[in-house]
Amino acid sequence: MKNPFDILEQNALNFKLTPISFREIFFIAETPCDIYAQVDGLLKVILHKKAEINTQLLKELLQKKMANLFVMQDDRKLLRLAQQENLTNVTRSLSIGDPLEKARLQTNLLTLNMGYLYEDPTDDNVLNLQVQSAKNLATFLFNKPQIHETLYKEYIRQGHHYIFAQPFLSTLFLLGVMKNSRLYIDKDIELFFLTSYFKDIGMSAIPVEKYNDEHLTDEDKILLASHPTLSVNILKGRVPLPPNHLKIIENHHIYSTLTNQMNLSSKDDPNNIFGFETMMISVMDTVAAMTTDRPFRKAESLFKSLDLIRLLIGEQYPQEFKLIVFYFKNFFKTL
């Protein structure tokens, strides 16, 4: 039975607490602050500051259905800092230890930090950390194509929100195709990885919750459609991407619809120098999106995705289309 004091206390807590993702207590050895959850209908501290966190504990919380966690608003930054320190450390020691284990940790921490970046895309520290970590991961993964499939499978299983997962998945595919095509030198790899990975940062203009709903308002739809331009505005002068790569970001949805394709200039047009790279980034994005679930639809088959890609680029880029089909058929065969 709730007494009046409980009710007052709970109301006060309701004001002071802010929800966190269950994932935000993964990867840290101890809690940097008190963690709250609902216990028998009341908000209570379930992990005190400096409580040890291990796999067993995380499993128990899930079993007790305590996945909806909260922290005091002022403590949120402590949790964020702990995870960012983790990301910095893993980035520095990426080449030490088991490559798959390291890549798995790095991708999960990067995805967490992507969430922090979406909360405030103007924060230079968060952006710099993300860029540096993504750069290191690019070279690391480019040299280890043998772990891509397993990494993909395990990353999907993590169940990150698709808004934060999609940039990594599409970029992993891009890296794989680039590796297969043997067309690029290392410096290119890093730049294309960053271009692909940060192309959707402009979507941070729309609150993440709204992406779970298929029916956005007209205003949201306009914002969403302008995300490539917003991405460029957020990144310009703040990341080590040359103008040509920002141009790719600006055009990264050019292949998304057949009607847009009709407006494309010929690939031999000198004004369309980055046509091929833009096409690759756009196509990898489309396949990554179609082959994964969304809150409002199930994943499509690889066959259906490639069929759409054939319609989009088959005529203009027949050789590249074959390369893409070859890559994906091999990739998904092992999954």
Strands 69-72 and 42-47: unpaired
- Tell me the residue length of the chain: 335
Given the structure tokens 């960012």, which residue do they identify? 84
Rounded to the nearest whole angstrom, what is the least distance from the CB of residue 202 to Fe ion in the complex? 8
Task: Provide the sign of the torsion angle of the four alpha carbons 130, 228, 171, 163, taken in this order.
Answer: positive
| 248 near Fe ion (CB under 5 A) | no
Among the listed residues 97, 294, 60, the one whose alpha carbon sits nearest the alpha carbon of residue 105: 97
DSSP run (H or E) holding 17: strand 17-20
Rounded to the nearest whole angstrom, what is the least distance from the CB of residue 196 to Fe ion in the complex? 10
Q: Looking at beta carbons only, is 130 or 136 nearer to Fe ion?
A: 130
Given the structure tokens 């029916």, which residue do they identify? 215
Rounded to the nearest whole angstrom, what is the least distance from the CB of residue 227 to Fe ion in the complex? 6
Residue 61 neighbours by CB under 8 Å, 6+ apart: 22, 37, 46, 67
Q: Looking at beta carbons only, is 147 or 283 nearer to Fe ion?
A: 283
Q: Looking at beta carbons only, is 200 or 320 nearer to Fe ion?
A: 200
Encoded one letter per residue, x for contact with Fe ion by CB under 5 A and - for no contact, window 147-186 reads ----------------------------------------
Joined tokens for residue 309: 């890609």
**Are the beta carbons of 30 and 66 closer than 8 angstroms?**
no
Rounded to the nearest whole angstrom, what is the least distance from the CB of residue 312 to Fe ion in the complex? 15
Q: What is the dihedral of CA 84, 86, 91, 96, to 10 degrees?
A: 180
Assign residue 40 a region: left if phi > 0, alpha if psi is -120 to 50, beta otherwise? left
**Are the beta carbons of 277 and 248 closer than 8 angstroms?**
yes
Rounded to the nearest whole angstrom, what is the least distance from the CB of residue 167 to Fe ion in the complex? 9
| 277 near Fe ion (CB under 5 A) | no
Per-residue b or e along 270-297, where b marks 16 or more CB atoms closer than 10 Å to that residue's CB: eeeeebebbbbbbbbbbbbbbbbeeeee
Q: Looking at beta carbons only, is 83 or 278 nearer to Fe ion?
A: 278
Q: Looking at beta carbons only, is 20 or 254 nearer to Fe ion?
A: 254
Q: Looking at beta carbons only, is 24 or 200 nearer to Fe ion?
A: 200
Rounded to the nearest whole angstrom, what is the least distance from the CB of residue 101 to Fe ion in the complex? 30
| 282 near Fe ion (CB under 5 A) | no
Q: In the set 34, 75, 190, 200, which binds Fe ion (CB under 5 A)? A: 200
Q: Looking at beta carbons only, is 149 or 250 nearer to Fe ion?
A: 250
- The region of 59-67, 165-173, 195-203, 273-281 touching Fe ion under the rule CB under 5 A is 195-203
Rounded to the nearest whole angstrom, what is the least distance from the CB of residue 249 to Fe ion in the complex? 9
Residues of this chain that bind Fe ion (CB under 5 A): 200
